[in-house]
Amino acid sequence: MPLHVPPAPAPALRSVLTALASPTAVREARTPSLLRAQGPVTPELPLPVHILDGTAAKLAGWRFLIRCGERSVAAAETMLTPDGWAFSHFFEGPYIASTERALRQAEVMQQSYQPRLLSIPGLYMLALWLHGDCAADAAAARLAATDLLVPLAPAPPGIAAHRPHRAAELLPVLTHRVTPAPLLGSPA
């Protein structure tokens, strides 16, 4: 089934396009693959990035894969500021290829989904969040029990990358692992 990629806010896309057109922004990004890109680069596959805090998620930005020819060479992230959407940074690394792999996996599933990214900062983890309501506002951060979460590589120890999990099954595991342990000598 096809994925229903939500449209990014126009100001977020404009901020990425402006950054890509700026030699200074690209040079200062310290992303060698973006600096070496031969030919035009284009932002594609906008995905809303939500941050998990406890059991609630909050929209934090939009991530665009930056393509050059047939491959993604980097990613660009935007953030919401008091003045609206603004370019945040370029980056590269294993999450780019892992995101593409997870999206390809999702495209062959029986059900249609709206793809999003879910960041779990306490575990240094990122997951592809496959939201079952394809018509939902991408900024809505309500995780449904039947939504799928696909941990991206590298995943934390004990959590298999690229294995889809129902949110109702994986969230309790994640929130338990994020819960800080009591300090030694303090009452539990």
Strands 114-120 and 84-91: unpaired
pLDDT, the chain, mean: 91
Q: Which amino acid is at 144?
A: A
In terms of pLDDT, which residue wins out, 85 or 26?
85
CA distance 3 to 113: 5
Number of helices (H) and strands (E) in the chain: give both, helices first: 5, 8
Provide the 8-state DSSP code for 29: T
Q: What is the pLDDT of residue 54?
A: 74
CA distance 49 to 119: 7
CA distance 170 to 1: 23
Checking if the pLDDT of 188 tops 90, the result is no
Q: What is the pLDDT of residue 97?
A: 95
CA distance 67 to 46: 12
Bridge partners of 72, per DSSP, are: 67
The whole-number average pLDDT for the span 107-120 is 95
In terms of pLDDT, which residue wins out, 30 or 129?
129
Q: Which residues contact 92 (CB under 8 A, 6 or more apart)?
A: 31, 32, 33, 34, 73, 74, 75
Q: What is the pLDDT of residues 67-87, one digit of tens each?
A: 999 999 999 999 999 999 999
Strand ranges, E, within the chain:
41-53, 56-68, 71-81, 84-91, 114-120, 125-131, 148-151, 165-166
Helix (H, G, I), strand (E, B) or coil at 26: helix
